[in-house]
Structure 1
Amino acid sequence: MYNQMFQETEDLSKKMNNMKNDTDDLDLINEEMNEFFGVNNSYKNDIEIEDRVEIKSAKEFIDIVRSKDRFCLISKSSDPIYNLSLEDYVFRNTPIHKQNLKAKFISERLLMYINNKTCVFGKNQNPFKELNLKSPLLKSNGGDYDLIRRFSGGGTVIHDLGNVNYSFLTSRNQFDKKYYNSCIINLVNNYILSKQNLEVSNSEAVPLLMLNERGDITCDGLKISGSAYKIAMNKSYHHGTMLIDSDLNEFSKLMRPKLIKNENAEEQEEFTECNDVDSVRAKISNLKDLTKSLFSDTKVFLNLLSKGFSSMFINDKPKIYAIDPAVVDLNEVYNIDKNDNKSSALLDLQSDSWAYLQTPDFKYTNKVSGFYYKVRRGIIIETNDTQNVKINETTFDKKFLI
């Protein structure tokens, strides 16, 4: 799979390809990745900032994306609409050989960004079921958190300025959902061990990162990064959110608690006949806390990944670009590229229609009021709450929830 992608990883990739469906061999994957990347390289007290080329115009940005070049793109924006639209534009407009889909793919890209406070749920998820939509932390209730449905699958994640989002793009043929997280694990572990040898006594050993059976990154048994994927147009991307120094107390208040099913409970509700994808709940923690502040802020992780991505390639090493929303306006990009652009993300992500009306079908029962609601594409199609609902017209809303 990856022998065409990274020349120097040929032997290792073949082993990973043979093992990718065998979760019993995860320890072996971690061990072999450690052997490949090594754990003896010395680091300075901090990761050096790579030389980044500033993109100077919307036209230059379009030309870079439409080229066949590999590159790493670091966004200076913290606007989730801008960054998720940027990700979608790069994905949709990255070139691929349509006549020969097995041809060597040479246009790998890595995008990194840090968002302001945002609840991001999967394309096939139900926000009424996953999130506490009555939380005062949400912007719709006077708080600071946006709410966005992304274009990939997977579960719900919370973004803030304390975590780094990464998106690794490759071809459909070369996609392996565990590969890039394995690379991240070994980059981080290499850094931890090198710093530990210099600064930390043996009695204060820092736990290393691991890959669990689902492909998530964990540390000391706690989840620190979840992932989601999109495969379309014979391309793929894997994006994840690495928790560095996030406000996890707020995160717990934004996620909807498990539904009450006890028949004797005073407040009861349930979702049934659901076609959505549930989030897999797990205990989470920050990398900063687990590594005794070796990763003190997001900059260290961001720079480590940009250096690591560049080091993966022997030939045609990727450039590292920085993109500033004050310089590259995505509205201008869309206008210049209106004849060929395949993305409408900038409009979709701001739309309540995309956020709510794209929700897979479900039935919600509020056992306090006795009302039930069958919902199709966000519209109530059946209910016994005839006083407040017009069938096939009324949109399901948080006001119907307990």
Structure 2
Amino acid sequence: MPDPQGSRAVLVGVSRYTTLESLPGVTNNLPALATALSSGSSWALPPGHCTVVAEPSTAVEMLDPIAEAAEAARDTLLVYFCGHGLTDSRGELLFGLPGARPGWSHTGVAYQALRDVIATGRARRYVIILDCCLSGRALGLMNSPADLLADQAVIEGSYLLAAAPENGAALAPPGETYTAFTGELLHVLENGIDGEPAELDLETVYRHLRTTLRAKGRPVPQKRDRNTAGRLLLARNRSPRPGSGAHGRGDDARWPDPETFLTPRMFLDGLIQARSTSQATFVELSARSQPHLGAGAFGRLVNLEELPKIWKTTGIFLAACGLTEQQCAAWKASWARLKAEAAAHPQPEPGPPVAPTQDPRPRRRWRRPA
């Protein structure tokens, strides 16, 4: 769990629009989500650490509280937006303010502006939750090589959870208390997930939301994460499977999803997470391995700085952790894909070391316009 004293959350919502359809469920989303994040079953944020920004009419009203939270957070910063999602003339995501009009970019707040504000902070981890139409467009920005958000979150990474695909609509069902996506998220925070471990990380919650919303015929959420951000705990499970701890084993264990590995570093972090999920020591894994490999071979594997050159040891390791043959095949496909990408785009040889110099540029800060 994040440290409550060092963490902050900012929940932004726009429900009343002058031109676009109003979204009454947003009004209910904000206090319910604030209560959940402040409860002992989630992050237990103290008073003042969870800020609700309802109906901001300007970019300053929306972004200033986020800038203040980014400056104060040292552990984890969570930013949530719910409202209409629009696009500008370049097809980039805009958050609709109350006066938002399609095609008028100045009536919304660019996602890029939100990223710039967050990048001024010093938190170890960032979580962004977007419950708006077209929110999947933010995933492309998260995947940019120059992604400031990921650069700032070098320890645990960043996690973006979007309610809708890149060109899809989020859903605010008439007559329901909450919007479709946030309603399911609140249900998880308040009731847990049957059969899952005693603590729910972001990756487990995301997979449950995808399954549940797809089964209901509603927009399927998307996500992008960096490094091990998906392991960040979001809630304590009120309906854990019997005898489960924080890292239970079994066929439904919270194995990393190899399809989400975008870099060799993410693949290697996934190996570490697989060993952690198995709750087995290297000696125990060695005893299970078929054919037999020593504990030292597995220790060297998870400490590699680049992808394994051959697959054999990795496959034996994953099988010893408890992954099925089908799961191991998915990992092998991810390994082969990353190797092919690395071969197509080789990294240049490092040059001689250069003495460090002082960067004369001042640290960027978000400033309220005069």
Could you say which TM-score interval applies, normalised by the shorter chain? under 0.3
TM-score for both structures, normalised by structure 1: 0.22
Higher relative contact order (CA 8 A, sep 6+): 1
| Higher relative strand content | 1
For normalisation by structure 2, the TM-score amounts to: 0.23
